[in-house]
Amino acid sequence: MDHALHARLAEAIEIRGLLRRNTEELSGVLRALNGEYILPEAGGDLLRDGPGVLPTGAPRAIRHFTSVMVRDVAAAKLLRWAKV
């Protein structure tokens, strides 16, 4: 097996193990759905940044979705107010 393939396989195995241990993400989602405050933390992209972003504890996807939704609602209200 060539070195590059071996390195990618080792990284994939490491990521799998980290994802299996990552219960903080689901716990964070449940806390957010319960209306609890979730501390902000630096985001990371597993594919771009590698296993260093794991484990996580903040449900980034939900936080991003919510911020986009709030932005869209605010923009729609502003446009209605401005009658554009």
pLDDT in tens, 63-80: 566 666 777 888 888 888
List the one residue out of 22, 84, 13 whose CA is nearest residue 53: 22
Number of domains in the chain: 1
Q: Above pLDDT 90, what percent of the chain? A: 0
So what's the pLDDT on residue 66? Answer: 64
So what's the pLDDT on residue 55? Answer: 64
Do 59 and 29 form a contact (C-beta atoms < 8 A)? Answer: yes
Spatial distance between the Cα atoms of 61 and 39, rounded to a whole number of angstroms: 14
Could you report the per-residue pLDDT of 31-48, keeping only the tens digit for each? 888 888 877 665 666 677
Q: At what angle do helices 60-82 and 24-33 cross, to 10 degrees?
A: 40
Going by C-beta distance under 8 Å and a sequence separation of 6 or more, which residues neighbour residue 57? Answer: 24, 25, 27, 28, 39, 41
Spatial distance between the Cα atoms of 14 and 7, rounded to a whole number of angstroms: 11
**Residue numbers of the domain that contains 14:** 3-82
* pTM greater than 0.85: no
